[in-house]
Structure 1
Amino acid sequence: MYQTWTFGHRVNTRIFLNTLLLLLIMLMFTPSTSLAEDATLTAEEVFLDVLINEQRKGTVIILRKDDRLFVGARDLQLWRLRLPNTNPLTFYGEDYYALDALAGLTFKFDPSTQMLALQVPPRLFEATFLNAQEINFSALSPPSPGGFINYRVSANHAKGLTNSTGMLDLVGFGGWGSAQTRILGLDLNKQARAIRLESTWTRDEPMQLTRLRFGDTISGASSWGGVVRFGGIQWATDFSLQPGFVTFPLPGISGEAALPSTVELYVDNLLRMRREVPSGPFSIQDLPVINGQGDAILVVRDIMGNEQVITQPFITSSRVLKQGLQDYSYELGFVRRNFGVDSNNYGRPMAVGTHRLGFTKHFTGEIHGELLGNQQSVGLGGVLLSPVAGVLAGSLAMSHSKKGIGGLLGLGFQRQSGSFSIGANTQLASQNFAKLGLQPEKIAPRHISQMIVKMASSVNGAFALNYTQQVFRELEEHRSISGTYARKVGSLGNLRASVTRYLNGEAKTILGLNFSMNLELGNRTNANINMSANKSHKNVNLQLNQRMPARGGFGYRLVPGLGDSDRREAEVSLQNGVGNYSLAAAQSQGQTAFRGSASGGVAFLGGSSFFSRSITDSFAVVQVPGYPNVGIYAENQLSTHTNAKGNALLTSLRPYQKNSVRIEQSDIPLDAQIDTLQLDAVPYFRSGLVLKFPVKRSRGALLSVVLDNGEPLPVGAQVEIINENILENELFPTGMRGEVYLTGLAMNNRLRAIWREQSCEFALPFPETTDPLPHLGTYICVGVEP
């Protein structure tokens, strides 16, 4: 008996312990449910009017529990307050946070008015981030297949001889990129020849900021390497593919606002930005500043009139890349020789690479290498942005060639602060150093140094002092120091004085004085007077100009000889929609010369050809099919009109930017159906696209419809033009007296009227007419069904 009880007692204890452990585990994994149940049963709901920093926020639900106030997470987020890092109180599935968990927040509760006033420091609000630079990169319009030809011819006659030159620029483009060939024609001393300048295929990738070229182009630049023309392939970054893209790090400025405020940003005492900010901390990134050092001043003015001023110095340089940004150029091909003289003269094979990387916002590193047959060069470079010293730069390179092993060292610094700037750079090279652009038989200069100091003032003018030293191995050393001073002389003109002292060989000093004055004599006419003097002669130059109108017209230029100069010139110019033309005559020292020139272009796009002025940028063919003489506006400026077919050539579009193009509505007949009056063009560089405006003749007419019994078609009945080729025909409502207005009519039409589950049909001819709103008369709708 005793043993059985003992056994049973042991069994009950084990069950009890297991049950207790299970309950504890369940409690551990379900805390929120338990709290929710407790909060639902014990928390008190109150509706309170809330003020935050004396700004009314409306009426919200507040929980009161154990003499503590809890606010819903949604309301805190709506007020832009940061959620405290504490466990929330859950009430009917929503989280509430205690006000006393927000460190620094104070509140006052008035039971009599049911008002809750909160005083919140700015740091408890969510931060606001602003960008002072607006980047408006638009998606590119797909290029249409096409091309254009530019030409320029000129002739000169002097001393009984006539020489002429011509330039032909052939460009084709499409979705595959663009291809260009330039040809120079010469007829000198009755010896005519044609020279191919360059032939290049280019493909741009604006989203990747890269450009691929195949053909004739120019190698990329580095801090110490040379630049040459070559024929081959090049892959490089090109930041101009996204206009407005900033490559260097821009400074930022931060502040706090207890109340909604207006912030004004001043850079070097110039207002650059004005924005509204809510309560809390804010940060303005990418301040609109330029190279150099200065001060950014932020004026914060809240709605109560309180004002605070934040001043922050900055230093920037375009020579430094943003952190993580890469700038590179890789080339493979053959060095071009005698460019402009020979068409197909290529020399040494070359492989060149340049790569720059922004390691931090203060330091950018560079590596550059060159491989040219039996010549190899490699080097490193870097630019450091220092708030104290300014911009520090250095480069170190070495080479191997037939001359032997050579080396190069370059150092430089630049500091610009307000109206004062100073800079210096020096480059030392050994005798055997070789690089791209330096002919193999040439010897590198031993030492090249330059130092420049500039001071500028809007009141006192600008002063610059420059020292240059060049030490050659096979030539005489060159050393000089020069100073210039320039200032505006009231409203009269500009004065410039200069002095240059050569310090090597026979030291000599050159003094110069120049005064220029520009007088506006009319809308397009001005006179320019330039007086200069030095030790050897005095010269007075008077020039009278009339500029050509932008849309076409005449202009001229007259230069009478004055002072020691007997040079006289006269030139007349004409500009129209298809070219530019000029004739000029000059006389000096008893000799007379004549010159004439003409330039223009021909574009091929959209199945049409257009004569135009020389095309230097991008362009578009605007199509308003069937509507001649419609005004075409680019950026709200009247540019051209459509021809008899409704087409027009629009030139001078900005590549990789949005160009707003619209048509003049008043030039389109009333019976036209216009879906839009404006289209945006974002073209590739020196490429074209077709802008087709969705304008068509509505072919509309008004008619009256009656039924078999003579009654008019009921109001609200719908009429459709039966077209078996369209799944869903357009429906036209019927008005009073059975009148209905239809569009899209053909010469012969079959119409169906539908109303109250009834229908009937009738035939409608539509004769050609010049009336924009014709009335076709009354028609009987027969065969009413059911």
Structure 2
Amino acid sequence: MSGVLAQTPPAPPPPPQEEELFLEVVLNGESTGLILRFTRGKSSGLRSSVQNLRDLELEPKLFGVAQLEQFDLDGIKGLSYAYDAARQSIALRIDDALRAPLALSGRSVRKPDTATVTPGAVLNYDAFSVLGRNRSSVISHELRYFNANGVLTSTGTVNLSRQLRQYVRFDTAWVHADPDTLETWTVGDLISASLPWSRSLRMGGVQWKRSFDLRPDLLTFPAAALSGSAVVPSAVTLYINGVRQVETAVPSGPFIINQVAGINGAGLATLVTRDPAGRAISTTLPLYVDTRMLAEGLSDYSFELGVLRRRYTTDSFGYARTPVASGSLRHGLGDSLTVEAHGESGNGLINGGGGLLWRLGQAGVVSASLAGSGGDGNGASRRGGQATLGYQYLSPRFSVDLQSLRASAGYSDLGTLDGAAGVRASDRVTLNLSLFAGHGLGLSMINLRSPLVPPARVRALSYSASLGWGLFFSVSAFRDARDDKARGVFFSVSGSFGDRISASVSRSRQNDARSTTSTIGRSAGYGGGFGWGLQALNNNGATLRAAQATYLGNYGQVSALMQETGGQRNTSLDVIGALVMMDGSVHAARQVGGGFALVSTDGVGGVPVLQENQVIGKTSSAGYLLVPNLNPYLSNQVGIDPSKLPLDARIASTGRSVVPARGSGVLVRFPVETYAAASVILHDGAGKPLAAGVSVLHVESGASTVVGYDGVAFIDHLQPLNHLRLELDGKPCVIEFPYDALKGEAMPTLGPYSCRSVQ
């Protein structure tokens, strides 16, 4: 019997084991200083963990491995590597497409911060009085109360003369602004928003609008962004129209410069980087920026509801009875297209329309709008339409602005119902040419047709030149083609000189009137001081001479004006200032603008106060000074000059960053403490100075100090009677001495005092 011997099949080979490697990583020729873990199979390339990418500050999503834990280096397109077994290192070469670009800002701007408000009130005033026989006065005011919830303002004027005693209220409104949402609510008197092809109206009511001025750092128009790549770590410089805007160091790899500013219209951006040999590589790109447009996705709006204001400046409460509504909206559909819409209704009228701004690449911006009206306001048909078309191109060398409007006879808006006739036809052509060495040439043509004024067709030509030495020359001429008598020419030479002195001479002829004017003056410095001005005017033989003196101080501005004409002399006085109610007291100050700070030095007077490192004035005898006209919602640097403090004064900080809200103030305290300290000479029982380094305890304050050279110790927080405890040769002793403070004097030196032994 025969058979086959069965054999056991061979066992499968063991799976290949992965080799674990810890390698020093070089990225695009630059050492990272990192040692990372990689693995390698017996028959495969290197593998890496996704965490390695994060450690190298690379984005896993760009590699397509964000959902994995490990990946093969050979499987990534745009990635190559060289493994050096002897050096235990790996050199990675990664394309720019796999690296997130380094984001840089193309503009230097103060960063916004959270605004603070100290509740208070402000009364801005301007009192102008004509002296002499025909005495009269006009006093204008703005009364403002503010707190964290908003600002309440009221403006008006008082007229005082022999013929008239009258007070007229202008505007009263409460305004609440929210910097987080960029929204502003106004309740009271307001001006409605408008678009270039609509009209604003004075109203009494409520307004809700977007306020971009609550974020001064925000660019609302489409800003250019420039990208590039640095082969090696180097410096990148950006020039806009030859002016350096950005200069910064960048690592190797891609970068992008956002919010490129410093340009309106056409311009050239030049980006300079360096190659591995250190040679400069320059790239020039054309740009076109129009600040009238909105960036993509950005919206601007304003909505009003109320009644129309009538007889403004003459009637304090001249309001219509019929409610009206108005609204305007703008939205950036893209960086090249901004759309607009506007609507009005009230008193039987409906008006609405839309428009756009369309950027034609580098060739300028086209604007257009269509609007229509309907209804039977005031018993008349208000049906009609309006169309506008425009084109604008701006560049450093020349600019072109073309605008045209046509409206039918029946077209109306809320302003028409209130008696303000609209324009039926207008055309405007403006050309400007920049010549050599600061010379410029301008040409404009305007055609206008409106129901209440004669039609006009005006042509104007202007020329200007910078003459050097601070001098500027200009000449212009105009003529109305529909009226031969309506024409004129104007010459002017002006200049600015040292020590805030400026002067000008001008001569004009319009129709049959000839005029020559000469002025020279010196303005008061920002920190305060005197200014003056002289003027001579000859108008068809009639002469006028005027002289003015001005003083600007911490508490406001005073101007005296003397005029002589026709043998008569008139004198007037103008006082401009403010009263600020804050910190439980009233302070006289200069007129207050959008935001301000009240500086307090805790009763120490005569201390110089600085705004952006520029002296603006000195604190009053009560220790206060108001710093007007700070930038709302931005960081403003306010400080004091400690060199003018008394010798015994001590202050923790000499500068503060102040962020006021719009129309509001902030109390800024610089607490000034008075030193109660002295240099005390200490001796031992034998009358010899104590050795340096001996520890001394001031019993009254509990503070410890050490003895310096010649037995002198600095002792702070002194009391009328003081005790010092110390040890000499292991034995305790005590020193007792009095202290009598002399305010404002230099730090005294007391002693010597001998140490008395105690049990």
| 1:553-632 matches, cutoff 5 A | 553-560=529-536, 565-577=541-553, 578-589=555-566, 592-632=569-609
Q: CA deviation at 1:745?
A: 4.8
* Structure 2 match to 1:410: 388
* Structure 1 match to 2:8: none
* Structure 2 match to 1:282: 255
Rounded Cα–Cα distance in structure 2 between residues aligned with 1:460 and 1:557: 28
CA spacing shift, 1:565–1:124, aligned 2, 3 Å: farther
Q: CA deviation at 1:286?
A: 1.1
Would you say the 8 A contact 1:540–1:565 is kept in 2? no
Would you say the 8 A contact 1:423–1:453 is kept in 2? yes
| 1:597-746 matches, cutoff 5 A | 597-669=574-646, 671-700=648-677, 719=697, 731-733=703-705, 743-745=716-718
Out of 236, 241, 246, the residue aligned to residue 263 of structure 1 is: 236
* Structure 1 match to 2:175: 202
1:320-360 CA distance string (max 9 Å, x none): 21222221222222222111112221114322222222232
* Structure 2 match to 1:437: 415
SS in 1 for 2:643: helix
CA spacing shift, 1:118–1:655, aligned 2, 3 Å: closer
| 1:445-484 matches, cutoff 5 A | 445-459=423-437, 461-473=439-451, 476-484=454-462
Rounded Cα–Cα distance in structure 1 between residues aligned with 2:626 and 2:693: 48
Count of paired positions: 730
Out of 308, 330, 340, the residue aligned to residue 366 of structure 1 is: 340
Rounded Cα–Cα distance in structure 2 between residues aligned with 1:393 and 1:341: 38
Would you say the 8 A contact 1:703–1:778 is kept in 2? no
Out of 295, 304, 328, the residue aligned to residue 354 of structure 1 is: 328
Instruction: Establish whether residue 523 from structure 1 lines up as the match of residue 499 from structure 2.
Output: yes
Q: Could you tell me which amino acid in structure 1 is paired with residue 456 of structure 2?
A: H
Rounded Cα–Cα distance in structure 2 between residues aligned with 1:713 and 1:494: 74
Instruction: Establish whether residue 242 from structure 1 lines up as the match of residue 185 from structure 2.
Output: no
CA spacing shift, 1:150–1:490, aligned 2, 3 Å: closer
* Structure 2 match to 1:376: 350
SS in 2 for 1:437: helix
Rounded Cα–Cα distance in structure 1 between residues aligned with 2:473 and 2:679: 74
Instruction: Establish whether residue 229 from structure 1 lines up as the match of residue 202 from structure 2.
Output: yes
Q: CA deviation at 1:637?
A: 1.5
Q: Could you tell me which amino acid in structure 1 is paired with residue 747 of structure 2?
A: P
Q: Could you tell me which amino acid in structure 2 is paired with residue 543 of structure 1?
A: T
1:565-611 CA distance string (max 9 Å, x none): 54232313131423323333334455544433222222222123222
Rounded Cα–Cα distance in structure 2 between residues aligned with 1:137 and 1:760: 59
Q: CA deviation at 1:765?
A: 6.8
Q: CA deviation at 1:748?
A: 6.7
* Structure 1 match to 2:269: 296
Rounded Cα–Cα distance in structure 2 between residues aligned with 1:99 and 1:225: 62
| 1:283-362 matches, cutoff 5 A | 283-302=256-275, 304-347=277-320, 348-362=322-336
Instruction: Establish whether residue 169 from structure 1 lines up as the match of residue 142 from structure 2.
Output: yes
Would you say the 8 A contact 1:624–1:695 is kept in 2? yes
Rounded Cα–Cα distance in structure 2 between residues aligned with 1:440 and 1:171: 30
Would you say the 8 A contact 1:556–1:570 is kept in 2? no
Would you say the 8 A contact 2:509–2:515 is kept in 1? yes
Q: CA deviation at 1:276?
A: 1.6
1:371-398 CA distance string (max 9 Å, x none): 3233332222332223165322222223
Instruction: Establish whether residue 154 from structure 1 lines up as the match of residue 128 from structure 2.
Output: yes
CA spacing shift, 1:375–1:302, aligned 2, 3 Å: same
Q: CA deviation at 1:288?
A: 0.9
| 1:42-61 matches, cutoff 5 A | 42-43=19-20, 51-58=26-33, 60=35
Rounded Cα–Cα distance in structure 2 between residues aligned with 1:781 and 1:602: 63
Would you say the 8 A contact 1:250–1:289 is kept in 2? no
Instruction: Establish whether residue 211 from structure 1 lines up as the match of residue 188 from structure 2.
Output: no
1:720-746 CA distance string (max 9 Å, x none): 767xxxxxx965355589997554455
SS in 2 for 1:359: strand
SS in 2 for 1:558: strand
Q: CA deviation at 1:111?
A: 5.7
| 1:500-539 matches, cutoff 5 A | 500-504=478-482, 506-507=483-484, 510=487, 512-518=489-495, 520=497, 522-532=498-508, 536=512, 539=515
CA spacing shift, 1:759–1:181, aligned 2, 3 Å: farther
Rounded Cα–Cα distance in structure 1 between residues aligned with 2:65 and 2:147: 62
Which segments of 5 or more consecutive residues in structure 1 lack a partner in the other structure? Answer: 1-33, 723-728
Would you say the 8 A contact 1:43–1:65 is kept in 2? no
Would you say the 8 A contact 2:478–2:487 is kept in 1? yes
When structure 1 is superposed on structure 2, of 545-554 and 698-707 the one drifting more is: 698-707
* Structure 1 match to 2:5: none
Rounded Cα–Cα distance in structure 2 between residues aligned with 1:354 and 1:707: 87
SS in 1 for 2:266: strand
1:480-517 CA distance string (max 9 Å, x none): 3333233334558444343434333x556735251414
TM-score by length of 2: 0.84
Which segments of 5 or more consecutive residues in structure 2 lack a partner in the other structure? Answer: 1-13
1:729-782 CA distance string (max 9 Å, x none): 965355589997554455578999999xx9999998754445635547467697
Q: Could you tell me which amino acid in structure 2 is paired with residue 601 of structure 1?
A: A
Rounded Cα–Cα distance in structure 2 between residues aligned with 1:349 and 1:502: 42
SS in 2 for 1:310: strand
Q: CA deviation at 1:252?
A: 0.8
Rounded Cα–Cα distance in structure 1 between residues aligned with 2:131 and 2:502: 29
When structure 1 is superposed on structure 2, of 524-533 and 427-436 the one drifting more is: 524-533
* Structure 1 match to 2:11: none
When structure 1 is superposed on structure 2, of 664-673 and 164-173 the one drifting more is: 664-673
Q: CA deviation at 1:660?
A: 1.3
Rounded Cα–Cα distance in structure 2 between residues aligned with 1:236 and 1:721: 64
Rounded Cα–Cα distance in structure 2 between residues aligned with 1:647 and 1:509: 57
CA spacing shift, 1:138–1:482, aligned 2, 3 Å: closer
Q: CA deviation at 1:713?
A: 13
Would you say the 8 A contact 2:310–2:318 is kept in 1? yes
Q: CA deviation at 1:263?
A: 1.6
CA spacing shift, 1:142–1:716, aligned 2, 3 Å: farther
When structure 1 is superposed on structure 2, of 327-336 and 529-538 the one drifting more is: 529-538
CA spacing shift, 1:781–1:377, aligned 2, 3 Å: farther
TM-score by length of 1: 0.81
CA spacing shift, 1:99–1:607, aligned 2, 3 Å: same
Q: CA deviation at 1:447?
A: 2.2
Rounded Cα–Cα distance in structure 2 between residues aligned with 1:472 and 1:533: 27
CA spacing shift, 1:624–1:501, aligned 2, 3 Å: closer
Q: Could you tell me which amino acid in structure 1 is paired with residue 255 of structure 2?
A: F
Rounded Cα–Cα distance in structure 1 between residues aligned with 2:114 and 2:86: 63
Identity %: 25
Q: CA deviation at 1:691?
A: 1.0
Q: CA deviation at 1:674?
A: 2.6
Rounded Cα–Cα distance in structure 1 between residues aligned with 2:388 and 2:334: 22
Rounded Cα–Cα distance in structure 2 between residues aligned with 1:707 and 1:601: 62
SS in 1 for 2:437: coil
When structure 1 is superposed on structure 2, of 247-256 and 392-401 the one drifting more is: 392-401
Q: CA deviation at 1:458?
A: 4.1
